[in-house]
Amino acid sequence: MGESQQQLIVDGHLDLSMNAIDWNRDLRWTVEEIRSSEKDKTDFPDRGNNTVSFPSMKEGKIKLCIATLIARYAKPHHPLGGWNSPEQAWAQTSAQMAWYNEMERQGYLTQIKQSADLQRHIDQESDTIGFVLSLEGADSIVTFDHLYQRHAEGLRAIGPAHYGPGTYAYGTDSDAPLSAKGKELLEKMDELNIVLDATHLCDTAFWEAIDIFKGPVWASHNNCRALVNHNRQFTDEMIKVLIERDAVIGLALDAWMMVPDWKRAISNPSNTDVTIKHMIDHMDHICQIAGNAHHVVIGTDLDGGFGTEQCPSDINTIADLQKIPGLLQDRGYSKSDIQGVMSGNWLRKLKETLN
């Protein structure tokens, strides 16, 4: 697809600062340069398999993303581990915040804090990539004074949970009611007009949060349990209530969330038929429930702890998101619906929620 035919894209979930600070990737480099620098590293399965860099985002016309801070506090015996104290988790997200600030100072990124910032960024012919700051897992919020500080720094969305048991809420592969601190967090978020990102909430916490929280809701990177039966995914009932709350749901490109027969560390794109068309299956499922395409968006989670070894075979870099419009067109989606999926639905939601 030629540059003149490319669609503007908003990606609803990218762990940019995690890649920079935790994985030590210089996102100013090309994807190929990062891969080359990691060819002898074995500390993570996705070494040398990255898909995201600033040049690849620009190539794919990804002008805006929801970008995360992430650091899990893990009490003893947490199944996945993490930082040994909330204070250490806070320090890690502070390092990530410092990286975003420096990339903005150098002219690579533009932080979007208010609706006026958003419109200005979309309208201008700038080479910078816009980002709205989100916190994936709230464990690094040591006290609510820390929450107020992050909000002042531009934090505009929070997913209270990540994987396993958390301070504020339990997440994927666990289940429990919201803690008292979790309920108070939702109240503080309401006061500050911070969006609730329902991604990763365990089933019990999801329904409690939907009932308690009165502010704006979205799900930055989630797929459908009807197609892949795992608690990481949303049931049709969850999708329906999110639609009732006028949420948008970002579809992810992590292969095990896309097809039901993926076996981690065994399956890979060469021995399993996973392509972007499976993302379209999940998109279409939500559209059929909604009766329209107004609630479907992109939230790839690319390089969110996995790379080309665990994503569709037709993704080499994030620029390949430009293949999505043609696949949607093949499914019979209109030009206006396709534009909504690629960027318009996210932009509408952001304009409504940013203060």
CATH topology of domain 8-353: TIM Barrel (3.20.20)
User: Of 18-22, 74-78, 95-99, 339-343, where does mean pLDDT reach its minimum?
Assistant: 74-78
Q: Is this prediction's pTM over 0.75?
A: yes
Please give the pLDDT value at position 75.
86
Comparing 49-63, 117-131, 174-188, 193-207, the range with the smallest average pLDDT is 117-131
pLDDT at site 2: 46
Average pLDDT of span 293-308: 98
Q: Say what the pLDDT of residue 312 is.
A: 97
What percent of the chain clears pLDDT 70, i.e. is strictly above it?
Answer: 99
């803690």: which residue's tokens? 179
| pLDDT tens, position by position, 61-100 | 999 999 999 999 998 888 889 999 999 999 999 999 999 9
